[in-house]
Amino acid sequence: MNGIGRPFHNIVTALIVGCPLMLPVLGQSQEKAKEPETETTLQVTVKRVIDGDSVLVLDPKDSNKEYEVQLEGLDAPELKQEFGKESSEALAKLIEKKELRINWKSKDNFERLLAQVYVGDTHINSEMLKSGMAWHFKRYNKSEALAKLETEAKEAKKGLWKNSSPTAPWDYRKENKAPDKPSR
């Protein structure tokens, strides 16, 4: 390298190796820098169920701050879609008027907390798949356990799987030119 190239190379190398906070400048999303590095747990109350895979919650320990929570690993039918209302009602039955524990590490493209949701020891994400009220969102979640729950519900023709070929929510949104998840 020439006299100018070597110092520049050394600076870039130092920035990449020694200063992770500079990664947003080098092309990585600043949003990732704001997200917790470890899982965060919140005890929250349900304000309202939005649809079969998302809920608006209040954090009583933080002046009832509102969070929109997306149940990680799920994609439920849209409200206007076949089984959308049933999916939303199933989630409401599981969580309404209950205290939730949500464990989250990241946010989705719509700034919703991507979370594992619990009522006591009951894993709500799993319950929605077991009952056939949502798809395992394999595009964004690689959990073999969740995939298995979807397969079992499908084989047992539970919930939306009563229909021999239900339309996946991502296909419904594409056909209706809606974003991957609508703003609410």
Instruction: Among 12-16, 41-45, 167-171, name the one with the lowest average pLDDT.
Output: 12-16
Q: Which residue has the higher pLDDT, 3 or 79?
A: 79
| Beta carbons of 144 and 102 less than 8 angstroms apart | no
Q: Which residue has the higher pLDDT, 89 or 182?
A: 89
At 158, give phi and psi (nearest 5°).
Answer: -90, 150
- Mean pLDDT over 31-41 rounds to 64
Specify the 3-state DSSP secondary structure of 59: strand
Q: What is the pLDDT of residues 129-172, one digit of tens each?
A: 999 999 999 999 999 999 999 999 999 999 999 999 999 999 99
- The residues, any chain, with a CB within 8 Å of residue 79's CB and separated by 6 or more, are 51, 85, 88
Q: What percent of the chain has pLDDT over 90?
A: 74
Measured at the CA of 138, the angle between CA 172 and CA 179, to 5 degrees, comes to 35
Full-prediction pTM beyond 0.85? no
* All domains of the chain in start order, with CATH: 36-175 (2.40.50.90)
**Residue 177's pLDDT is what?**
83
Q: Which residue has the higher pLDDT, 37 or 64?
A: 64
Helix (H) or strand (E) holding 58: strand 54-59
Radius of gyration of the chain (CA): 20
- Mean pLDDT over 13-42 rounds to 49
Specify the 3-state DSSP secondary structure of 13: helix
Q: What does the DSSP assignment read for 121-145?
A: TEEHHHHHHHTTSSEE-TTT---HH
As a whole number of Å, the end-to-end CA separation of the chain is: 54
C-alpha distances in angstroms, 67 versus 70, 78, 121, 127, 182? 10, 20, 22, 22, 16
Structure tokens at 38: 């470890």
CA distance 54 to 52: 6
